[in-house]
Structure 1
């Protein structure tokens, strides 16, 4: 029995269902606000990642604390002797080896999440050019997507500005990692720094990043910290002013669902329903309803009562998309153009689910009107409001997350092939890896990984990539337009760091302790980090468990976190995951 099957049994026993993209038991995917961004799964190293030669030219060493850069101290946890964690490699080393033009550059790394529904704080406004349709964007009523919704903003900021960046900072190595504060109050600034520093303090000193805290993307202290270029996880509008390792627009398109469909990779057959043009003129010149819309400072929205050209444009474009949904027979999968965390994906297997999806999209406050209202003269050429309707991969026998690092010549460094954990709504909650299988899995997927790396490299991207692949027993047709049939179907392409990227880089840490399996996943717990660590003191001290990211909400008395656990075999790992979850709640990104 595979680990994935075991975890699915565990989920079934708890009354929840875990399913892949193609499961016929999944309902039309709907996500609540407490959602986490879906990092593509990735895992275990199959290459010689013994890259111990530190890059002195590429970045400051751990001992070179710069100005206000905030070196990572080792505050420790009271009464718990934590082992030092040594990664097999770091992003710093991988970047240095991947590109001659960046080998001697000092890269600042930005790992934050972004959204297009609300400002994360006054210094981190929502994206208006590079649109992302995360869970709040698609599911929260427009009246709640406002600067005054402090609870929503705080929830998103904790995840997007602290939890996700900590997780990637853990594997960054000795480079500047730019972190953005939740807000600029003295207590919050200190708390943000303490949470990140405590998480990273368990790393070997030579692999700890240099933390650079600043208010928002427009205020990164490049000169003060000698940063030559920025490399980033997700496109933020505010990064346009900086020297970057790759183009924002190209990166956005590479990560879009239409971009994958047009890639030539073996994806399920898809129809791209594009949107033509953008709403005009400016709201104040359109009609009375647009001129008097009192929420114009928050999420842009074309009122239902609009009688001008903006409303007519929206009606025309909506009809095109709704007609495509109506005429499509079940089963099918519908996706927004640019999403993460599993949000913006609707898996439709019955007529009832199709009717529900249609009703949701037709709703005056549904995702379609929200999305079309965000199309502007600055972004319409990227087709941000397109929807993609694809065939469903039938009867998959395997669901893998492949992770690798793309070099400047189109070559790659294989990192891992992992199994993915999803909740009952098909949202990503974590990943698992079996280290002893990695060599065989690399041979199995080598041709597909090589092909994907070459495609991404042609567009100027150098860095980590993750792909979600469904394996079928029989060969099936794909969208490559050349008659290709394959057993491996790429259902998602994530040209960025993924949530479980730490797992392959921790192979040595776990296997030296006789642990062949590991998993990383998100949790919500009552209380603070120290209480959680004391509850699992033996596992922490033996190196079988540690925190990958943690943020305590002091007002609520609860914490959100990512943890990593290891075990000798799959059965033991499944049991340990279940024990941790019994005392916590799942966090879905």
Structure 2
């Protein structure tokens, strides 16, 4: 007797409360008549993701790969690493943003160049957005890399994009600077840690350590060791993605590197615990160390200097940062680092009573209907792993009006600072709420510990409010996962929650060769207890993704 196939799964149609396209029009009525496109992806300065999507070198970012992966593994030959990062940055993140984009062109980048790979990329993204209400589906445009975005008339093929917005600064976007919604250097600056520290916004006190001067860029004129290393790295099959100052360099490059490392390491050694060490331009929760104990401080110093490696040419996190300073980007301070107070640490007199991910849109209008220069979207709780890497967010819908009132002043203050530099668009701010020292009335104050002038990972949650609340689900959580098998099998496993609309896929990329998929799923619950029960059941059967 043959088996009976289960009946087809009928997924509910999803209608967002609003979309990025609508929020952009509301934020800037002056440009509401333009056809705005969006280029969404992650960014790394560690390694080329594909031949057409090269690592950032002019505008460095410090993601998990650059911070955590030993230099010797950051090569063109390391195809497994490159593929792993590309799946996150060129599929997981772009699909997630495309899901909430609405009726606008969204640029996505191919993970591979073969017709089969290109078709696979398209099919995965189109399947993800197919559950959306037809009027809210974006126009997906695939291209090989940033420099090949079809913005020129001869390349446009009828897309009709007037201006292009983007999530993160990409070196390849410079070719289309006149078609972008904002200046690349200014946007990179606004997302830097030093800019936040100097902004005047309420943020932890920081000591800012900047590099001095610029290293000589020609290895051939530095010393024999550098010349030999440059010759070796240019040979086929051994191309290193990151610039390298060899450990045995006897020339000016090595002396510059040693001087900069010594200044930073000396400052970190002299800093009493607890403190926070930050790199200038982090992505995905990387580049931040919370140092609470002497043991953690020793581990940080070893990681920064490369003392925890058995490779002579592995000069640690600082070596990788400093080698990216060039004459073209030195004015940006790409290797600047910060030593900050750790808010809420024992003995600092501050008690943390709330930890929020605040999401809003900066507007260029200031009227009562729009709530001023900041349009509130949500305040959610961010979920991180043991390394401080972001793995998802949780939102309580009934609390949002109360939280909007709580953060109204901070939003306006932050939006005013960003607007001074011409920034209009989505913002994500990590905020600690702290009980004021000596306050017997429960008075609190806020500290901004991170500011991202871009689409945040949790931005989908407020836009799905109607979908969940209409089903009696008062809270929701996003979870980034690695699941065995493909999309169909995962949906079948969790069939009932999917058919009820309490579970939905924001992003999904199946890797047939690996037999697994990388995805982001949103889960709703009647209350936080029921939500966490379902989230925990899902987590027991998957691995969590860190960006």
Using structure 2 for the length normalisation, give the TM-score: 0.91
The answer to whether the aligner puts 1:325 opposite 2:273 as a matched pair is no
Name the structure 2 match of 1:447. 409
The answer to whether the aligner puts 1:85 opposite 2:14 as a matched pair is yes
Question: 467-476 or 332-341, which moves further after superposition?
Answer: 467-476
User: 2: distance between equivalents of 1:248 and 1:486?
Assistant: 36
Contact map agreement 2:217 2:326 (CA 8 A) in 1 = no
Question: 166-175 or 425-434, which moves further after superposition?
Answer: 425-434
Evaluate the alpha carbon distance shift between residue 292 and residue 201 of structure 1 in structure 2; reply closer, same or farther with a 3 A threshold.
Answer: same
User: 2: distance between equivalents of 1:354 and 1:281?
Assistant: 32
Instruction: State the structure with bigger RCO (CA 8 A, min sep 6), 1 or 2.
Output: 1
Deviation at 1:409, TM superposition (A): 3.6
Name the structure 1 match of 2:325. 375
Contact map agreement 1:275 1:385 (CA 8 A) in 2 = yes
Alignment of structure 1 residues 303-452 onto 2, 5 Å: 303-363=246-306, 364-394=314-344, 395-409=351-365, 411-452=373-414
Cα deviations by residue, 1:94-117 (Å, 9 ceiling, x for unpaired): 101111332111111011111101
Unmatched segments (≥5 aa) in structure 2: 1-5, 307-313, 345-350, 367-372
Alignment of structure 1 residues 98-497 onto 2, 5 Å: 98-222=27-151, 223=153, 224=156, 225-242=159-176, 243-293=179-229, 294-295=232-233, 297=239, 298-363=241-306, 364-394=314-344, 395-409=351-365, 411-475=373-437, 487-497=445-455
Contact map agreement 1:141 1:365 (CA 8 A) in 2 = no
User: 2: distance between equivalents of 1:379 and 1:136?
Assistant: 21
Name the structure 1 match of 2:493. 535
Evaluate the alpha carbon distance shift between residue 134 and residue 476 of structure 1 in structure 2; reply closer, same or farther with a 3 A threshold.
Answer: farther
Deviation at 1:426, TM superposition (A): 2.3
Cα deviations by residue, 1:551-585 (Å, 9 ceiling, x for unpaired): 11111100110000111111111111101111111
Contact map agreement 1:436 1:516 (CA 8 A) in 2 = yes
User: 1: distance between equivalents of 2:246 and 2:354?
Assistant: 45
Q: Which runs of 4+ in 1 moved over 6 A?
A: none
User: Which protein has the bigger helix share?
Assistant: 2
User: 2: distance between equivalents of 1:583 and 1:463?
Assistant: 37
Contact map agreement 1:301 1:374 (CA 8 A) in 2 = no
Question: 402-411 or 230-239, which moves further after superposition?
Answer: 402-411
Deviation at 1:312, TM superposition (A): 0.8
Cα deviations by residue, 1:492-533 (Å, 9 ceiling, x for unpaired): 001000111111001111111111111111011101000000
Aligned residues: 506
Unmatched segments (≥5 aa) in structure 1: 1-76, 478-484
Evaluate the alpha carbon distance shift between residue 273 and residue 193 of structure 1 in structure 2; reply closer, same or farther with a 3 A threshold.
Answer: same
Name the structure 1 match of 2:3. none
User: 2: distance between equivalents of 1:508 and 1:329?
Assistant: 48
Contact map agreement 1:409 1:457 (CA 8 A) in 2 = no
Evaluate the alpha carbon distance shift between residue 360 and residue 517 of structure 1 in structure 2; reply closer, same or farther with a 3 A threshold.
Answer: same
Contact map agreement 2:288 2:388 (CA 8 A) in 1 = no
The partner residue of 1:580 within 518, 523, 538 is: 538
Deviation at 1:475, TM superposition (A): 4.6
Contact map agreement 1:475 1:487 (CA 8 A) in 2 = no
Evaluate the alpha carbon distance shift between residue 232 and residue 281 of structure 1 in structure 2; reply closer, same or farther with a 3 A threshold.
Answer: closer
Cα deviations by residue, 1:59-105 (Å, 9 ceiling, x for unpaired): xxxxxxxxxxxxxxxxxx98110110000000001101111332111
Local SS of the residue matching 2:254? helix
Contact map agreement 1:78 1:530 (CA 8 A) in 2 = no
Contact map agreement 1:87 1:508 (CA 8 A) in 2 = yes
Evaluate the alpha carbon distance shift between residue 282 and residue 229 of structure 1 in structure 2; reply closer, same or farther with a 3 A threshold.
Answer: same
Local SS of the residue matching 2:400? helix
Using structure 1 for the length normalisation, give the TM-score: 0.84
Local SS of the residue matching 1:79? coil
